[in-house]
Each structure stands twice: as C-alpha cells, then as structure tokens.
C-alpha cells in the first residue's frame, strides 16, 4: 500500500519534475528537522558532561558510520550515513555496562563472560579503544592503532593468529578490570541520583526550547513575523508587538465544504483556479475593495448566482480571466470557495521590549502545540467520533513539504519561524510520559528513585515496545504526508 502511494505521489508526466519535487521536500526536511534533532542530542551531551557522566559518542545521522569521525575530549564525534537524526551515547545507559550492573550481584561469573563479549565488541565497533587504554595507563601507540583499524573491518569471531590475537586477549583482560572498576563509578549514568538523571534527560528539551527562543528573538529584532488567518490580528499581537503591516488577501480554497459536513469541490476549483493563484478582481472589481467575507458574500447574493469573471495571476504564468459559476450551500447562499486571509506582519517595538515579546511569542507557540497534542490525543481514543485532528499531524515528509511552501511565501524568515515551531513541538512531544521518549525515561527514573529498585528487563521491554508503536505511527503519518505533498504545487 505504502509503495503504491509513493509511486502515485511522485508519478508526474515529467519525471524530471517529480525528482525535483522529491529532492525539494528532502532538502527542506534536512534543513529544518535535522539541526533541531542535533541540538536536542547536544543538550543531552552537555548536561551529561556537566555532571561528569561520560559520553562515549556523539553522532550526526544514524549508523552505519561514515569514515568521517574523530576523537576529542574523550568523545567519538561521528558522521553517519542515514541523515535522519543524531544521538548522544551516554556511558552506562542501556549499554554493556548497564546490562552487567543489572545481573552482576546474582551471577558474577556469567555476567563477566557476557560483559567481556558485549563490551569488547562495543569498544572495537565504537572506536573506544583509546579510552580504555588510557584508563589503564597504556599508550595508544602505532601497534594498537593498527589493531584498532584491523578490527574496524572485522567481526570478533574472525580472530587472526599472531599479534592481533595477543592484543585481543589483552583487551579482554582490560575489559574484565573495567567491569569491577566501573560498576560503582560516577561516570556511569545508572550510578547517578535522580536529579542528575533528570537534568541529563531534560537536556535535549531545554536546548530545543533555548534554540526556539533565540530564533524568535532574532526574528523579532532583525526581521518580522507574518501571521495569516481568517480574522484580523488578535489583541495579543497589537498589545505586545509593533504591527508593521495589516493586509487583506483573498485566496481560493480548494475542496471547500459547501454543504454542512459534506466535502465537495468548490466553484473556483471546478473552474481551474488553484490555491496559490493570486486573485485580482471579480467582475472588474478589485478584491481589495471588499471589506471582508461578509461584504463579498453580499455582492454574490446580489448577483443571484450569475457567472462571475475572476481575474487571477497563476504562479509563473500571465494574468488571465476565468468564468466561475457560484454554488449554493446548505444555507441557501451563493458561494465561490473564496475566503479572506488577514496577513499581519509584526516585530518587537524595540530591543528593550524584545525579551518580553519573545517570551510572549514562545508562550503562544507552546499553547498552540499543547492544544494540538491534546486534540490528537482525544482523536486517538476509541470512543472519539471526530478524528479530524489527526489530519493536522505531520511527519518528516510533511515538514519538508510545508517548508517548501513557507519559503515560497515568506522566505528565510518563514523557515526560521517554522524551525522554532518544530523545535518547541519536539521539546513538548519528548516530555510525554512514553518510555521511548525523554518524558517516559524521566518517569522510569523517578519510579526507580522512589522504590530504590530497578528492573532493567521491564525497562527495555517498555522502551522497545513503545519505540515500535512510535515507528508504526511515523509510518502512518508518512502515508498521510505523501498524500499531502503530492498535491503541493512546488
């Protein structure tokens, strides 16, 4: 099913246009979403270092790893092949040491054997050999580097005879020593108290909020925010910001409902007018002369369903006049499928007030995102009849498509504002008490702190299960997004 949707979404008469559209969406996805994920993971890294918890690796993208990586400050900084996020690998957090800590007291011999196997593979695959050697006062010389590079291309079972085997056995001995030394080490995440864990887990959320705040602050000081809606700008904007421009535009709404809840094609859509066509006049009367939708409606009723001549300027085309026959809606009124959009452009009054203005705008975005999440949560309940809120959910494909449209209409400033909105969305979503997300991890840490017990097996099952559920949700959203972006006129 998903393959058919993808093929349908990108099946154009001109294959070149289809490729350009796909690449455009991918470009905006990378530009908007990936930096925010990288910032999120960097927040975890910095908070971990603040509490002297070791970070083994900070990666941009998802493994497998590219040849581009380096070691600095005891961390492997890597670039990975799949450009869909990033990660901060925190020592003692669901790794070999964490697994050993959970079972060592019950069966130290078997745990040690398992740990040596898991940790040795972890060290060689993760390029951590230099770290464990330094912990034991052994220089990372040319021979060890040669051994390290050899094992970067091999599995552990492919042990060669000679010098490699000797160094491999020496490494396993160092790993055994490491286990006894690190089980109680404060370098390990699991050995820290609830407060350090809380701050480390909140690091990503904190940095996403901080990134959004800084973006909004810069926009309000050096540019302006443009907001569109069916009504004039609310008092919130007029009271807290300097309004640069208030403009009334009329737009064609495709597939506008004209009969209660029944979705039908609008009159302008049937006449061939598209959503992004610029509407100029109706029957030689400029749309700017109408005070609003009520004024336009009065004009249409006075013509009693007569055909109207609408002048439009399509994107990348010349002005043309289109004949449109109005429809009658369920209330017996003539409609065209045209609505007014009030575009308000606003910025901070001055630098002194920009801090309060930024807080106001960020607070507004938080409220909008939270309201959206509540509506989506309600729509997911089995007894809910109205599930229209699910149509507002967008994933990576949707973000890429929206980013392209925003850039066309508002330029770089619009993209920056979208990044701020998505950053806050990531932060709030990660606070949800779902085990695979930061909020769920915090809840697990809190329960462990209260009960003074930790069941890592249950933790792993909960995290894995909810991760699979989230992955399924991402796929469903991607299917919806494909249907959405195939209709975008990019």
pLDDT digit string, tens, across residues 182-221 = 999 999 999 999 999 999 999 999 999 999 999 999 999 9
| C-alpha closest to that of 25 among 394, 395, 400 | 400
User: What's the longest Cα–Cα distance across the chain?
Assistant: 96
Spatial separation of the C-alpha atoms in residues 70 and 185, rounded to whole Å: 26
pTM of the model: 0.83
Strand partners, 243: 346
Q: How far apart are the C-alpha atoms of 24 and 488, rounded to whole Å?
A: 11
> Can you tell me the distance from the alpha carbon of 182 to that of 148, in angstroms, rounded to the nearest whole number?
23
Task: Say whether the peptide bond before residue 64 is cis (omega within 30 degrees of 0).
Answer: yes
Question: Are 337 and 224 within 8 A, CB to CB?
Answer: no
- The string of pLDDT tens digits covering residues 439-472 is 999 999 999 999 988 888 888 888 888 877 877 7
DSSP string across 314-341: -TTS--EEEEE--EE-TTS-EE-SEEEE
The answer to whether 76 and 85 are in contact (CB under 8 A) is no
Domain 242-346 maps to which CATH number in 3.40.630.30, 1.20.58.60, 2.30.42.10, 2.40.110.10? 2.30.42.10
pLDDT of 306 higher than 80: yes
Distance CA 448, CA 454 (A): 5
- Contacts of residue 481, defined as CB under 8 A and 6 or more positions apart, other chains included, come to 394, 395, 396, 397, 398, 401
Q: Is the pLDDT of residue 390 over 80?
A: no
Q: Which residues contact 336 (CB under 8 A, 6 or more apart)?
A: 266, 267, 268, 300, 308, 310, 324, 326, 327
Choose from 10-14, 184-188, 225-229, 250-254 the range with maximum mean pLDDT: 184-188
Given a cut of 50, whether residue 9 has pLDDT beyond it is no
Angle at which helix 456-485 crosses helix 96-103, to 10 degrees, equals 140
The answer on pLDDT for 318 being more than 90 is no
* Helix (H) / strand (E) containing 47: helix 15-50
Mean pLDDT over each residue of the chain, to the nearest integer: 85
Separation in Å, CA 300 to CA 250, 283, 327, 329, 335: 15, 11, 10, 13, 7
Instruction: Give the Cβ contact number of residue 447 at 10 Å.
Output: 13
Mean pLDDT of 413-429: 95
At residue 380, the 3 state secondary structure works out as helix
Distances (CA, A) of 239 to 218, 234, 243, 340, 401: 20, 9, 9, 23, 33
What confidence tier does 329 reach under pLDDT thresholds 50, 70, 90?
A: confident
Confidence band (pLDDT; 50, 70, 90) for 342?
A: confident
Going by pLDDT thresholds of 50, 70 and 90, the confidence category of residue 113 is: very high
Give yes or no for residue 111 having a pLDDT over 50: yes
Q: What is the DSSP string of 101-133?
A: HHHTTT-HHHHHHHHHHHHHHHHHHTT-HHHHH
Pick 234 or 242 by higher pLDDT: 242
pLDDT at residue 2 tops 50: no
Alpha-carbon distance values, 128 to 37, 55, 149, 178 (Å): 24, 11, 12, 13
Calpha distance 101→457 (Å, rounded): 12
- Round to whole Å and give the CA distance between 294 and 291: 8
Boundaries of every domain in the chain = 1-29+192-227+353-490, 105-182, 242-346
Q: Name which residue leads in pLDDT, 468 or 98.
A: 98
């Amino acid at each position: 099913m998903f393959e058919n949707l993808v093929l349908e979404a990108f099946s154009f008469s001109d294959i070149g246009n289809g490729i350009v559209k796909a690449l455009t969406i991918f470009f905006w996805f990378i530009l908007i979403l990936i930096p925010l994920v990288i910032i999120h993971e960097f927040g975890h890294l910095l908070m971990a270092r603040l509490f002297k918890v070791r970070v083994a690796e900070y990666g941009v993208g998802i493994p497998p790893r590219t040849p581009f990586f380096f070691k600095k400050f005891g961390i492997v900084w890597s670039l990975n092949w799949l450009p869909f996020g990033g990660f901060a690998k925190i020592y003692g957090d669901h790794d070999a040491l964490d697994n050993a800590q959970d079972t060592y007291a019950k069966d130290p011999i078997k745990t040690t054997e398992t740990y040596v196997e898991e940790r040795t593979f972890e060290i060689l695959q993760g390029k951590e050999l230099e770290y464990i050697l330094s912990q034991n006062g052994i220089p990372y010389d040319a021979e060890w580097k040669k051994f390290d590079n050899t094992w970067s291309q091999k599995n552990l079972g492919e042990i060669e005879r000679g010098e490699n085997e000797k160094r491999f056995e020496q490494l396993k001995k160092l790993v055994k020593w490491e286990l006894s030394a690190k089980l109680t080490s404060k370098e390990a995440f699991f050995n820290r108290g609830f407060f350090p864990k809380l701050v480390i887990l909140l690091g990503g959320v904190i940095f996403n909020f901080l990134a959004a705040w800084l973006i909004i602050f810069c926009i309000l000081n050096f540019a302006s925010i443009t907001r569109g809606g069916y009504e004039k700008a609310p008092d919130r904007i007029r009271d807290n910001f300097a309004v640069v421009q208030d403009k009334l535009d009329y737009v064609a709404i495709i597939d506008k409902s004209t009969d209660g809840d029944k979705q039908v094609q609008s009159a302008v859509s049937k006449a061939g007018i598209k959503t992004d066509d610029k509407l100029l006049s109706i029957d030689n009367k400029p749309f700017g002369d109408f005070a609003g939708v009520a004024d336009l409606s009065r004009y249409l009723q006075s013509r009693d369903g007569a055909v109207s001549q609408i002048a439009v300027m399509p994107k990348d085309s010349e002005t043309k006049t289109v004949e449109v026959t109005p429809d009658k809606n369920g209330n017996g009124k003539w409609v065209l499928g045209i609505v007014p959009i009030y575009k308000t452009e606003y910025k901070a009054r001055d630098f002194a007030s920009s801090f309060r203005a930024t807080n106001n705008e960020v607070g507004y975005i938080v409220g909008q995102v939270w309201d959206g999440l509540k509506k989506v949560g309600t729509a997911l309940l089995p007894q809910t009849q109205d599930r229209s809120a699910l149509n507002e959910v967008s994933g990576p494909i949707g973000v890429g498509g929206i980013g392209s449209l925003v850039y066309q209409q508002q330029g770089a400033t619009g993209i920056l504002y979208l990044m701020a909105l998505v950053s806050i969305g990531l932060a709030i979503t990660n606070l949800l008490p779902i085990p695979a997300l930061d909020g769920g991890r915090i809840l697990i840490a809190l329960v462990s702190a209260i009960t003074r017990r930790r069941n890592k097996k249950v933790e792993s099952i909960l995290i894995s299960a909810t991760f699979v559920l989230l992955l399924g949700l991402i796929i469903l959203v991607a299917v919806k997004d494909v249907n959405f972006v195939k209709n975008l006129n990019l």
